[in-house]
A and B are shown apart, each in its own frame.
Chain A
Amino acid sequence: MSPTSENGAGAAASLDDALVGEAVLGVYRQMFAALARDSGAVVDDPELVDVAETLLAAFADAGEDGLSREQMRHVCRRYPPEVFENRLRVLRGLGAVREVFPKPNQLRYRASFTSVVGLMFVRRMMLDGGQSEMHRLLALEQLNVADPRMTAGQARAGADGLARAFRLWSVELLTLTNGTIEELREQAPKLWGTEEILLRAERLHGAILRRWPRLDRTCTDLRAAIYAYGDASRRAAARLSDSAGTTRNLTLLPPETWRTFARTASREDLAAVLEGFVFDAAAPWHEPSAVVTAVEDGPRATPPRPAPPRPSVPDPGLSRDTGSGGAARERLREIAEEVLRGRDRVAVQDVLDRDWPAARRVLADLSAAHLHPELPYRLTWSDDLAARPAGAPTWVSPGWFERTTETETTAPPEKAAWSGGSGPPERSAS
């Protein structure tokens, strides 16, 4: 498809012929400028086509002023500069991008409409491999045939073109059919025909033949091409379904085909798929522990009551020791009596008159005896503060540790708590 230079032909023909030939060539060049790598070859990198498309889109946005070279460079800033320069040179050379006015030192450019159309066509062909293009061509041709201005020559040319297209199409399909199955699987969906395309082609053929009966020879060619294409299409499909039947590769046919098969096949056909396979009978396993879990997790008739907490160690039953109160109380009583030594009250600083590690333990015990609700002892402090630089506690508040009642064992807890909780100030002052 690359435009070729026609120097020899141009020199031999007349000037008018050369002009006509040059105009045709110009259209060709513009159409395929986007695909040209340089003025003699087709692109070898899809990105080059992207550059051309970006440029043409920018031109469409720019309006009638066109674009300057810097603007074009800005639009294509994603691409390397040398790629952009190369593309611009080729596009200008082939006439896809032209100066707004053909003057020297022209700075603004415009794009050719033909190139955009050509690029659209190329993209569409890439997308669906020419099949939908064939649909369009057939539809257009049908319209043309119905057009009263259509001449027999045009109809013949159209029919010839379609016949050629169908021939080439079926040749390509046949080549694929004889090739590897993977390639066929890959390419055939783009190529093989639908019933609709064959129907439409035959309808067109009938229309041409009715209107211009003298074109019967051309129509015969067209008909033969259509049938050849139909045959090739069927053969490709048969090869595909054959290979799909013998292989386990289920992707050789489209999923829709499998679905249709599963819906429409007879029971014998479906069973034949797994002929030769032996399946184990269903044998679910119910472990006893799973049965227990299922019953315990299942919904119950009565809502489960939360079990009382149990110790993890074996429960020895009720014990004598109902708490630490008794033992601690006796120990505190012993210490208090040891401190009091028969007296009713004793000064705290006398008791603490020893080294601090021992004294603080005694002080802690006295405080505990004071706070214990069932013990008849009290600790009262005055507000004074005696500093004793030489003593073991270097400062001490004068205080008294005293017995509150003579009958210690019968003191009711409430009273003891009251007397322990607050010290009467007149007793502490005495």
Chain B
Amino acid sequence: MSVEPAVLARARARVLGAVAVGAADPVPPGTVGASDGDRVWVLPAWPDGATPALLEEYQTAPVPLDRPGQARRVLAAALRCCWTRPDDAPWPGESAAVAAVLGVYADMSRGDAVLARRWATGELRRLADTGWLLLDEASGTVRPGPRVALWAEHALPSLRDLLRRLPEPARDGDGGE
């Protein structure tokens, strides 16, 4: 079975989602790479700078998502902690403690804080599965995922504005359970 390596790499990238390859490896055509140090994440590229948000203009249903609002709030909380220099691009960002992210989310939301943390943990894992965050459960840290690099610069000011208004992340050490 002879398949072109580029085609195979592209198929692998599509099947596995955001995958990291070595920085020296070629990025298959039809994708863009979000590089960070010695790794490159292969991501889908859309023509003309469009993003899937364009689907809304054509009144096409996007990929169905359970509780999109909650997932996006958790993403915002994670960015509040990881995107420490808002004037820069969010990718690659910095690592932050998961506990701090959970604390920000619990401060943002109403109701039972323990329950909010539990919900947010699930959303963090789902966001990590789809490449929006890089979650390191062993060390309990989280980083912005490579998909964040696909955000267009002109869409970011409102997000920066929002993140300034979110609650401060707790300092290291007191943001835990």
Contacts and interface: CB of A to CB of B under 8 A. Distances in A.
Interface of A: 278-301
Contacts of B151: 287-288
B17 A294 contact: no
B28 interface: no
A299 B108 CA distance: 8
B50 to A, nearest CB: 11
Given A281-B14, A289-B53, A301 B110 contact: yes
B155 interface: yes
Contacts of B53: 285, 287, 289-290
B98 to A, nearest CB: 19
Most buried by B among A280, A285, A292: A285
B156 A278 contact: no
A280 B107 contact: no
13 contacts: A278-B11, A281-B17, A282-B17, A283-B131, A285-B63, A289-B53, A291-B72, A292-B161, A294-B72, A295-B108, A295-B166, A299-B111, A300-B109
Given A278-B14, A285-B62, A286-B132, A295 B73 contact: yes
A286 B156 contact: no
B110 A281 contact: no
A281 B156 contact: no
A289 B160 CA distance: 11
A294 B63 CA distance: 17
B32 interface: no
B158 A292 contact: yes
B45 interface: no
Contacts of A296: 162
Nearest to A298: B73
A280 to B, nearest CB: 5
Nearest to A294: B72
B47 interface: no
Nearest to A290: B72
Given A278-B14, A290-B72, A294-B76, A284 B130 contact: yes
A300 B109 CA distance: 5
Contacts of A301: 107-110
B3 interface: no
Interface string B9-27: 0010011110000000000
- Per DSSP, are chain A's interface residues mostly helix, strand or loop, or mixed? loop
B68 A284 contact: yes
A280 B129 contact: no
B171 to A, nearest CB: 19
Contacts of A280: 14-15
Interface string B44-66: 10000001110000000011010
A286 B74 CA distance: 11
A279 B156 CA distance: 31
Contacts of A289: 53, 155, 158-159
Interface in B120-134: 129-132
Interface string B63-104: 101001111110110010000000000000000000000000
Contacts of A287: 51-53, 151, 155
Contact of A278 (B15, B44, B107, B109): B15
Given A282-B129, A288-B156, 18 more contacts: A281-B17, A283-B63, A284-B63, A285-B51, A285-B63, A290-B53, A291-B79, A291-B162, A292-B158, A293-B72, A294-B69, A294-B71, A294-B76, A295-B166, A298-B70, A298-B73, A299-B111, A301-B108
A377 to B, nearest CB: 56
Contacts of B72: 286, 290-291, 293-295
Given A292-B158, A294-B72, A295-B166, A282 B111 contact: no
A187 B124 CA distance: 55
Interface in B122-154: 129-132, 147, 151
A279 B63 CA distance: 13
A294 to B, nearest CB: 4
A257 to B, nearest CB: 29
Contacts of A290: 53, 68, 72
Given A282-B17, A286-B71, A298 B162 contact: no
Closest 5 CB pairs of A and B: A281-B17, A294-B72, A285-B52, A288-B159, A287-B53
B124 to A, nearest CB: 13
Nearest to A287: B53
Contacts of B16: 281
A294 B67 CA distance: 10
B69 A288 contact: no
A292 B159 contact: yes
Nearest to A280: B14
B127 to A, nearest CB: 8
Nearest to A300: B110
Most buried by B among A283, A284, A296: A284
